[in-house]
Amino acid sequence: MTANEEDLALQTLLSVRLELVPDLDETLLRQCYAIQRKHQFNADRSQPSAAMERLIDEAASKVTPEAPE
């Protein structure tokens, strides 16, 4: 993938985000894209899956209040 194709893919994601889910954090989307791009040719899908799960859990914990004990 060339730099221009990468930019096009990311720019497309960012544009669609604005149309469909404008409240979605742009940084989160960029981080998800970076994880998927880094692992796109890795046959072991457990690494990107675990990284995505950690990233999403971390983001969710920032917007979801802790339950009282």
Q: What is the DSSP string of 6-67?
A: HHHHHHHHHHHHHHH-TTS-HHHHHHHHHHHHHTTT-S-THHHHHHHHHHHHHHHHHHSPPP
What integer is the mean pLDDT of 11-35?
Answer: 93
Read off the pTM: 0.74
Mean pLDDT estimate for the chain: 86
Reading the block at residue 38, the tokens are 């880094």
* 59 has pLDDT over 70: yes
CA 47 – CA 37 distance, rounded (Å): 12
- pLDDT grade, residue 4 (50/70/90)? low
What integer is the mean pLDDT of 6-23?
Answer: 91
